[in-house]
Amino acid sequence: MSGPNTDYDPVEVTPLKAEEVEAARDAALAAIAAAADLAELKQVRIDHTGDRSPLALANREIGALPPQARKEAGQRIGRARGAVNKALADRQAVLEVEHEERMLVEETVDVTVPTDRVPTGARHPLTTGAELIADIFVAMGWEVAEGPVIEAEWLNFDALNLGPDHPARTMQDTFWTDPGDDHLVLRTHTSPVQARTMLQRTPPIYVICPGRVFRTDEYDATHSPVFHQVEGLAIDEGITMAHLKGTLDHFAAQMFGEGINTRFRPSYFPFTEPSAEVDLVCFVCRGAGELDGSSCRTCRGEGWIEWGGCGVVNPRVLAACGVDAERYTGFAFGMGIDRTLMFRHGIEDLRELFEGDVRFTTAFGTEL
């Protein structure tokens, strides 16, 4: 504050009477209490604590008092100023809170208006479905193998024990490239990827092969010339059909939920022996065959859904692919990804997968 009172202006000095100090204090406190907003409070602060305020002027007079009176006057004025400053601070805090609250109310917007400036994108459920399947197997330590869709005839057929005169070759209506003696086909299954894996790697082999495959089927609600398969292949010492069953049961439970497992029926595939058809417990009626008293539409009342084919890898296939059939056995399985998703998601018409309607795709988001 000011130094020794040698240079004050005696004109400005006002009396230091106790009652006057108290009056100035009370006036200040009343003004503070009456300040309605921060702007008013700012003016009150100038008026009552500024350089020309009564308490400030009184303070300056202390130096002019006889030494014995200085102490008492100093204390009196100090108390008064302290009370005023505290009241100011308190009022400031209250008014700030009020101000902020009012401001937040004033800034209210309608948050229900649309915010979709850029439309939502999506990945195709066949892509994310194949990834979901891949993740289930990768979690078991398997790997994902891939191969070309235009494939050598030898890899698509011969190496898989489908010789030129095998009746199964007529079962699979194949797209051949022109000229036919190029011995190239649009792969009819993802099995050539299995053959490639066995030809190029040494056991143990645990791979799944998802991918696009082709058959000369007419295009309708349940058939398509282009569709998607996932096949699995395990080659190791001591592999049995029991491991096949265990793997498919695990797959089914991961894909469709706990309690959904599989059953085997004898079947025929050239690349496996013994061979089996895999049925899946209908995950809609959970095997009951009926739902709310009527026959389940998903499984047509069977309680089971045909899921795919599987079996123990035929030793002839191991031989053609260079795997020591004395030491190793293996299993293989395959199913349609399209079909799997159709019953997982209740899709009625296969063609919806290939039409490219964004309303279909975006319904699935970016992950399954």
Partner 1 sequence: MKAPASWIREYVDLPAGVTTEELAARLTALGLKLEAIVSPGDRITGPLVVGKVLTKEPEPQKNGKTINWCTVDVGAANGTGEPQGIVCGAHNFAPGDLVVVVLPGGVLPGDFAISARKTYGHVSAGMICSARELGLGEDHDGIIVLPEGAGEPGESAFPLLGLDDDVIEFEINPDRAYALSLRGIAREAALAYDAPYRDPADRALPEPNATGHPVRIDDPVGCPVFVARKVTGFDPTAASPDWMVRRLTQAGMRPISLAVDVTNYVMLEIGRPIHGYDADRVRGPIGVRRAREGERVTTLDGAERILSIEDLVVTDDSGIIGLGGVMGGETTEMSETTTSILVEAAHWDAVSMFRTGKRHKITSEAGKRNERGVDPVVTQAAADRVVELLTTFGGGTADPGVTVVGLPPEQPRITISYDLPARVTGMPIDAATTVAHLEAVGCVLEKGDTTLTATTPPWRPDLTDPFDLVEEVARVVGYDRVPSVLPREAAGRGLTREQRLRRRVGRTLAGAGCAEVISFPFVGDATFDALGLAADDVRRATVRLANPLSSEEPSYTTTLLPGLLKAVARNLGRGAPGVALFETGTVAFPADRGPAPIYGVDWRPSDDELAKLFEAIPDQPLHLAVVLAGERERAGWWGEGRDAGWADAVGLVRRLGAELGVGVDVAAARRMPWHPGRCAEVRVAGPETGVVLGHAGELHPKVCQAFGIPARSAALEIDLDALMRHARDVVPGPDFSTYPVAKEDVALVVDAKVRSVAVETALREGAGDLLESVRLFDVYTGEQLGEGKKSLAFALRFRADDRTLTEEETAAARDAAVALAAERTGAVQR
Residues that bind Zn ion (CB under 5 A): 282, 284-285, 296, 298-299
Burial letters for 173-194: b for 16+ Cβ neighbours within 10 Å, e otherwise? ebeeeeeeeebbbbbbbbbbbb
Nearer to partner 1, 153 or 231 (CB): 153
CB of 303 to Zn ion, least distance (A): 6
Q: Which does 299 bind (CB under 5 to 8 A by kind): partner 1, Zn ion, none?
A: Zn ion
* CB-nearer residue toward partner 1: 246 or 259: 246
CB of 226 closer than 8 Å to CB of 315: no
Q: Which residues in 184-243 contact partner 1 (CB under 8 A)?
A: 184, 186, 199-200, 204, 206, 212, 216, 219, 225-226, 234, 236, 239-243
State the minimum distance, in angstroms, from the CB of residue 19 to partner 1: 59
Render the burial of 221-244: b for 16+ CB within 10 Å, e for the rest: eeebebbbbbbbbbbeeebebebb
| Dihedral sign, Cα of residue 297, residue 251, residue 225, residue 128 | positive
Q: How far from each other are the two terminal CA atoms of the chain, in whole angstroms? A: 74
Q: Does 352 bind partner 1 (CB under 8 A)?
A: no
Can you tell me the distance from the alpha carbon of 136 to that of 337, in angstroms, rounded to the nearest whole number? 14
- Count CB atoms within 10 A of the CB of residue 257: 12
Taking CB under 8 A as the criterion, the residue among 150, 222, 345, 348 binding partner 1 is 150
CB of 346 to Zn ion, least distance (A): 11
CB of 277 vs Zn ion, minimal distance in Å: 17
Among 37, 90, 98, 182, binds partner 1 (CB under 8 A): 182
Q: Does 116 bind partner 1 (CB under 8 A)?
A: yes
Token duo for residue 109? 């917007």
Q: Does 247 bind partner 1 (CB under 8 A)?
A: yes
Q: Which 8-state DSSP code applies to residue 63? A: G
Q: Which amino acid, 79?
A: R
Q: Smallest distance, Å, CB 105 to partner 1?
A: 21
